Structure formats: C-alpha cells, structure tokens
Amino acid sequence: MVLRCFPAFDNEAFTVAPGSHFLSAGSPIINDSHTPIGTTFVFTGGFDYKAIEVDDTSGDDTVSDDDLPGQHIITDGMGLIPEGIPGRE
C-alpha cells in the first residue's frame, strides 16, 4: 500500500474553451481518457484546491502505475470523489 496525494479542483473550474474543436464550449472537463486530444480548456479561479488521497495497490512504491487504474483506490476524495472507488479501466 502506497498512499499518494494529488491536487484536485471541482471540474467546474476547467471548462472547454470557446473555439475548441472538440466538445461544447463552457462544458466542464471530464477527466478520463475519452477527452479528445487537442481539446482546449479554460481555468476559472475561485475554486479551492483539494488534496485527493489515493491508495496505489499496484505493488511498486517508486512508480505510480497510472496505466493500471483498477489498482488505485480513493481513500479520501475530499468531497469531490467518493471514497473506495477504484480507478476506471
């Protein structure tokens, strides 16, 4: 078990920029691998930074195996992500 912390903001802080060739302008970011490459976003201030805590169960304490999302369990989602939810494949 390796606990890792990542900075996070509410997805309303990142919206699709006007003139972006992908997705609807003003829609919030969806943090997954299906966001088209080349989509541009605008960051809006006023949202508090939160430190999300993840239990990396991949077995290597020197590497965050982000290509193995099923081996990352949210231990403290700070109200943004429910605890106990594994990453998506």
**DSSP output for 63-86:** ---TT-GGGEEEEE-TTTS-TTPB
- Report residue 58 as tokens: 């991949």
Tens of pLDDT, residues 19-54:
888 888 998 877 666 778 888 889 888 888 899 998
- Would 89 be classed as within a structural domain? no
Specify the DSSP class assigned to residue 41. E
Indicate whether 3 pLDDT > 60. yes
85 falls within a domain: no
- Structurally, how many domains does the chain consist of? 1
Q: Can you give the residue range of the structural domain that contains 12? A: 2-76
Spell out the SS3 assignment of 43-54: ECCCCCCEEEEE
Classify residue 83: in a domain, yes or no: no
Q: What is the pTM of this model?
A: 0.59
CA distance 3 to 11: 23
Query: Tell me: the pLDDT tens digits for 57-66?
Result: 777 777 766 6
Domain assignment present for 45: yes
- Tokens read off for 49: 């930074």
